[in-house]
Structures are given as structure tokens and as C-alpha cells.
Amino acid sequence: MTAPKALDTPYDQPRIFGSAYRAATIGILLVITLIAFEGMSVSVVMPIISKQLDALDLYGLSFSAFLIASLFANVVSGLWSDRRGYTMPFLLGVVLFVIGMGLAGAAATKVLFLAARAVQGLGAGCTIVAVYVMIARVYPAAVRPKIFAALSAAWVVPAMVGPAVAGFVAYAWGWRWVFFGIIPLVVPALVMLVPALKKRADGAAESGSSDEGDGSSEGARSRPFAMTVAATAAAGGAGVLLYGVDKLHISPVPSAVAVLAGLACLGYGLSKLLPPGALRFSRGLPTTIMMRGMFSAAFFGVNSFIPLALQQVKEFGPAAAGIALTTGALGWSTGSYLQSRRSVEPYRRIRLGAACVMAGVLIGLLSVLPGITGWVAVPAWIVAGFGMGLGMTTVSVTALKQSPVNEQGANSAALSVTDMLGSALAVGVGGALVNVIGHSPGMIARGFVVICCLMSAIALAATLLASRTRSD
């Protein structure tokens, strides 16, 4: 008998919920869903927390503390994942996240709350990069767009019920239970994922390698000590920079020195953490990675202030103010789904996504103007969310495609670094603007308009630079 021809061999298209990937997919999606639930809930109750802890002046820093800590953890987790595998960074990240939730719920002062948010950020940073490396190493290239789309879809249920549940819990039992209530939900998800992670690690041990890769990584961005120093410089520089920006109107000279020092540290750190040419927007992977930060800055720089603006200016309740965030996440999921189904060139999808974010932000600023209903934020954030789903998911898929196997962890970390840094700087600067302009309802409205104008300019820049994500 002759061997069957290749064309006669049936080919089973890999599926993310097929038997080979089902356990990993369900575990990843469960954890991401709960992290997403926390993100949606915190955004809604932050105005209440700021009032009860007398921390409105630290509103933006409450988000930035989370993001800057995530930036540091991103790098360490990426190095760890490249050299030793993704299992331990993932598990450690989830554990730290749970600890941070408990600390936030127990915080009696705004300083302790900021510290708790930083612990949460460390956990989220470890987890997110480990998930990206897991996707790169576990799933074949053909199905990666689908798993990234599934990750975006994991935000749908939290987005639909998170704001309403968080508002109800805060009203009925207090905002602390928004944090405490998520902890018991995280534990079962982690327990369900442990067997899948252990199976991967055991299988890799039998083959004489790390749990997902060959344990080797070459190049400047694989040196643990140098990269840890760079991560510390970037995270510390971002924190000092935001502190200086926030205090410029109070003590101009010392604050200006802090801003310059922060910029210097940040520039040094990023030059080591990102691919060569990233800060110059060189064509291909460098610009692809920078695009992630621009999307995050434009979107989250406004997203974090929507509940504050609607509650303080339009007198919305917490649940009503969270509806805009809900619709934004639904738009995000739709855009992510469509990018996995279309054959349009990636840079065109990135360009369209950035343009949609810009349009959504500009429409959203109308929601705080006199004589215009605050519900304008709902369609505005559908448009902006759609742009994020279309553009951000395409950026993630493109970056992995452009990365050599032994640099997937480093480049996954670089994606998260620009993501977290873009969000942290945008939200921190937005908080500083609110502090400078004032905390009365009318002043918050003016601050929100200024924030929207600034973030729309960033989205416009991303639209114009999208073509530089092409490698050829």
C-alpha cells in the first residue's frame, strides 16, 4: 500500500475550546473576567471612595499607582516567562492581586488605599504578561486572533453587570465590599487553572525544557539585572514625573525639578525596556509596540474620569454613571471580534481603530456641557470602545507575529509597559488638570473637556502613525 497523500489527510482546524486547548482557555478567561470585573467596579466606586477617604486630590493617582506598579511587574514577569516559563509568574500575579483586593477593602486612609492599589497592580502586571506568553506558546498562530478576541469578550459580562452590581453593593453594604466580594470568586478560578498549568509544567519537564519554551533568551532585553534596573527607573520616573506635574501649581520650582528628573529616569528606562527605535517610532515592531501606549492613553485618559464627571456634574448615581463604561466594553468586544474575522491589512485596522477612539472622545466631551444630556457618553463610548477592540487586539496580534520566539516574553512585556505607562501618564495628567482647574461641578466639567481635547490629540497622532506598523 502507498502512504496516503497529504491532500487526503483530514485537517482539523484548531479551536480554542477544542480538547487540546479547552482547559487553558477556560482558566485564562475566568481569571481575566474577574480582573475585568474589579476594573469596572473600581472605576464606578472611585468617586465614592475619594469622598469618604478625603482623596479627591488623589483621584488620578489612585489609578496611576495601580498602573505604575503593573509596569514594573510587566518587565519582571516577561523576563521570568522567557527564562523559566509562564506558570509561576501567572500564579504569583493572581495571589498578589487577591492580597491587594483585601488590603484595599481594609484601607482606612487614602495612603493605605494607594498602597493597596499598587499591590493590585503588581499582581495584574505579572498575570497579564504571563497570559500573553502563554498564548504565544500554547496556541498556534492561526488561532491567536480568536483567543485575543475571547480575552476581549471576557470583559462583556463584567461590563454588563459590574457597574450595576458595584453601585448596588456600595449603596447597600459600603464600597469596601466591592473589593472583599471579589476575593472568594478569584480563588475557585485559580484552583481550576492550577491543573492545566501543572500539566504544562510537567510535560515540559519530561521533555527537558522549561514549561513553555527552551529556557533561552538572548539579547540586551533578556538580562535580568539590567532590565530590573530599567524597570525600576521607568516606574520610579513615571511616579516622580506625575508627582511633579500634580504639584506644579503649588510649588513650581521643586516640582519642575521633579518633572525633569522623572523624565530623565523614564527616558533611560524605556530605552532599555522597549525594542530599539521605539521612542523614534521606527517602522515595524517598534511602532507597533508604541501604538499600544497611544491607544491606552487616549482611551483610559478619558474613561477613568467619566464616572467622576457624570456623578459630579450631571448628578448621576454610581450605577447610571457606569453604563457608559458598560457600553464601551461592549463596543470593545465587538471590534475585537470583527478584527478576527476580517482580512484587511493590520495597519488599516489600527488606523480605523484610532480614528474611532478619537471620534468617541470628542463626542464624549459633549456629555458635561450645559443643556446636553449626560447620556451622550453612552453612544460616544460605544464608538471609542469599538475602536479599542479593533485597534488594540490587532496591535497585540501583530506584535507577536513580528517577534522572534525567544523575544516573545520581552515584547509582551514591552506591550504591557507602553499600555500601562500610557494609561498611567494620561490618567495622572488628567488628575493634575482636575486639581489645577478645581473640584466644584463646573470646574470638573471644564477639566473633563480639557482632558478630552488632550486625549483626542493623542488618538489623532496614532491615526497618522498607524501605517508605520508595517514591517515592509
43, three cell numbers: 472605576
Pair 130, 94: CB distance under 8 Å? no
Helix 306-313 and helix 318-339: axis angle, to 10°? 150
C-alpha cell at 251: 510649588
How far apart CA 102 and CA 98 sit, in angstroms, is 6
pTM value is 0.76
Contacts of 461 (CB under 8 A, 6+ apart): 294
**DSSP reduced 3-state for 33:** helix
Give the pLDDT of residue 156.
Answer: 67
DSSP 3-state of 214: coil
What gap in Å lies between CA 276 and CA 278, rounded to an integer?
6
| Residues near 364 by beta carbon (within 8 Å), at least 6 away in sequence | 302, 306, 324, 376, 377, 380, 381, 384, 452
Q: Quick count: other Cβ atoms within 10 Å of Cβ 345?
A: 13
Q: At how many degrees (to 10) do helices 59-84 and 224-247 cross?
A: 170
Q: How far apart are CA 4 and CA 239, in angstroms?
A: 63
* CA–CA dist 238, 428 (Å, integer): 10
DSSP 3-state of 314: coil
Query: What does the block give as the cell for 91?
Result: 500564579
Backbone angles phi, psi at 11, to 5 degrees: -115, 120
What pLDDT does 44 receive? 78
Helix (H/G/I), strand (E/B), else coil: 219: coil
Other CB atoms within 10 A of residue 7 CB: 6
Report CA-CA distances (Å) from 137 to 52, 94, 151, 214. 45, 20, 16, 11
Q: H helices then E strands: how many in the chain? A: 17, 0
In angstroms, rounded to a whole number, what is the distance separating the alpha carbons of residues 214 and 144? 21
Are the beta carbons of 356 and 383 closer than 8 angstroms?
yes
pLDDT in the model for residue 12: 55
State phi, psi for 370 to the nearest 5 degrees.
-60, 140
- Each of the 472 residues of the chain gets a pLDDT tens digit; together they read 444 444 444 445 667 777 667 767 777 888 888 777 777 778 778 888 888 888 777 777 788 888 888 888 877 887 777 777 777 888 888 889 999 999 999 988 888 998 999 999 899 888 877 877 777 777 777 777 778 777 766 766 776 677 777 878 887 888 898 889 888 877 777 766 665 566 554 444 444 444 444 444 445 555 777 778 888 898 899 889 988 888 888 888 898 999 999 999 999 999 888 888 999 999 989 999 999 999 999 999 998 899 889 988 998 877 777 777 777 777 887 887 787 666 778 889 999 999 999 999 999 999 999 989 999 999 999 999 999 989 988 998 888 888 877 777 678 778 878 988 898 899 989 988 988 898 888 999 999 999 999 999 999 999 999 999 987 6
Amino acid 20: pLDDT:
65
Task: Please report, in angstroms and rounded to a whole number, the separation of the first and last CA atoms in the chain.
Answer: 47
Q: Which bin fits 369, alpha (ψ -120 to 50), beta or left (φ > 0)?
A: beta
CA atoms of 61 and 247, how far apart (whole Å): 12
Tell me phi and psi for residue 341, to 5 degrees: -110, -10
Nearest one of 402, 405, 411, 393 to 275, comparing CA atoms: 411
DSSP-derived secondary structure letter, 143: G
